[in-house]
Amino acid sequence: MHKYIFEQWKDWFPTLPSYETFVTRLNRISSIFPSLVGCLLDDLDKVDTETPIVLTDSMSIITCSHKRKAKVALEMTDKGYFSTKNLHYFGVKLHLVAKRGENTLPLPEYIGITQASTHDLTALRPILLSIQDRNIIADKAYVDENLNQKLINEHNSQIITPIKDKKGMPRVLKQFD
């Protein structure tokens, strides 16, 4: 954040403090962030976006490499694996369920943080089971036939995910599907 502000908005913030001072100031006011996010989410609830589509995903937040000794937020972080980058790390995962908006960014309905080792589906299963009358768009991590059947039968919802590749499937057929 500091680097981006420094590089892109330097004219607006001519007295931007050093990185260390910036981080210290942010840490001093960190207790207000949950309240601030709560207020923002309350305001978003007032926006009328009844849509039958919900988007969900999770994102890794890396605090340090697995080769180092973790020193930040030890009560929250643990070792995880970032499959997209083939990377082991210490950190947390951010989970989001959002309403699809017409010609706008999705509006968050749920935001949560778990330890890095928590599987995406495990973290969001209780939230997904509370969604009524919607289609849930998700990635391959959310493929679970039992959960999908339960959503269809009991909640009139369903999870739509990409087709999971079969082991040994030729590349041509993968690209075709």
Q: What is the pLDDT of residues 19-29, one digit of tens each?
A: 899 888 888 88
SS3 134: coil
Rounded Cα distance between 95 and 6, Å, is 29
For the chain, counts of helices (H) and of strands (E): 6, 6
| Amino acid (one-letter) located at 156 | N
Rounded Cα distance between 170 and 174, Å, is 7
- Other beta carbons within 10 angstroms of residue 88's beta carbon come to 14
Count of all residues that appear for the chain in the document: 177
Q: CB neighbours of 139 closer than 8 A, spacing ≥ 6?
A: 57, 161, 162
Q: Which residue's entry shows tokens 């590089």?
A: 7
pTM of structure: 0.69
**107-162 residue pLDDT tens:** 888 889 999 999 999 999 999 999 889 999 999 888 889 999 999 999 999 999 88
